[in-house]
Amino acid sequence: MAKTVTAKAHTNIALVKYWGKKDAQLMLPQNGSISLTLDHFYTETSVTFDTQLNHDQVYFNDQLLQPAQSQRISRFLDLVRQRSGLHAPAAVKTTNHVPTSAGLASSASGFAALAAASSRAAGMDLDATALSRLARRGSGSATRSIFGGFVEWHAGHDDQSSFAEVIQDPVDWDIQMIAVVLKATKKPISSTDGMARVVATSPYYPAWVETAETDLTRMRAAIAAKDLAAVGTIAETNAMRMHALNLSAAPAFNYFTADTLTAIQAVTDLRAHGINCYYTLDAGPNVKIICAGHDTTVIKTALQQYFAPEQLIVAKPGPGITMTEA
């Protein structure tokens, strides 16, 4: 009888970002990265390999996707089938508790959950490191969502050497993020296309790789010291350098909206008034505020001058991947 495996994976937000691949097929990044896994945003995915099916059937948030819409998932399942020796199509049911394609790491939690559920359903028993390598093939940042807490993805030089590992989990000090959800819609250019354009056309790209390596060293030390100000400062600078690359590409592009700039300015103003908070952004308009839990009320109160309460979501350090079988 076919086995159904359900996996739950949480999103992660990069503090030192990866922006650019050196091998698109193996999803090897140009530079390493460090992230924080969050408890609030997650994906649950169930996979059953079933010889009675004629082709993969993928349900996304209870909607059956057309084959053209599920090609990326089927390609990933082909990799699992190849490695496991299984040939059956799969029934996939995935529920995303993250706005999709809006810069809130939906592909990270999505492919981490798919990697875990599909590999186990296909009879593979992968340890966390091997699972991290496999998830990377679906989405680069998914390699980090296998783990909880602070996580580092080693860029590596081949499939074996590019994987993530925990820096600190559990996180036993007061750090969290407030997500300012500005636009839960599809972004104007995908992360994949955006970073490819930057690598190919930005004259500043070599400097990005060099400074990212320095940021990794500094971020590891800041996390070890449990230094919120250092973590936030490094993350903020790193994020703005990434977005500067997008503006230096040909043609230039950006993920900001007017509300993005409003949120950034609000964080800057709060910090000028002595509140220890910092911003970071991924490939989307949404701003994530790095702060301490005890400053939540004052930060949310200030932001509610500009944004509705439901747009401000508090997320704390989250767990690694979990699986159940039926």
In this prediction the pTM is 0.96
Rounded-to-integer distance, Cα 143 and Cα 154, Å: 10
Say if residue 77 is in the same domain as residue 10. yes
Rounded-to-integer distance, Cα 128 and Cα 132, Å: 6
Say if residue 162 is in the same domain as residue 282. no
- Confidence category of residue 143, pLDDT binned at 50, 70, 90: very high
- Confidence category of residue 160, pLDDT binned at 50, 70, 90: very high
CATH number at residue 22: 3.30.230.10
Say if residue 43 is in the same domain as residue 94. yes
Say if residue 144 is in the same domain as residue 242. no
Rounded-to-integer distance, Cα 136 and Cα 143, Å: 5
Say if residue 280 is in the same domain as residue 223. yes
pLDDT of residue 185: 64
pLDDT, tens digit, 9 for 90 and up, residues 42-96: 999 999 999 999 999 999 999 999 999 999 999 999 999 999 999 999 999 999 9
pLDDT of residue 91: 98
Total domains present in the chain: 2
Say if residue 118 is in the same domain as residue 181. no
Say if residue 97 is in the same domain as residue 231. no
Domain encompassing residue 276:
176-315
pLDDT, tens digit, 9 for 90 and up, residues 92-135: 999 998 765 555 668 999 999 999 999 999 999 999 999 999 99
Rounded-to-integer distance, Cα 201 and Cα 37, Å: 31
Say if residue 224 is in the same domain as residue 83. no
Picking from 151, 57, 84, the residue whose alpha carbon sits closest to that of residue 112 is: 151
pLDDT, tens digit, 9 for 90 and up, residues 201-248: 999 999 999 999 999 999 999 999 999 999 999 999 999 999 999 999
Average pLDDT score over the chain: 95
The distance from CA 213 to its chain's CA centroid, rounded to whole angstroms, is 19
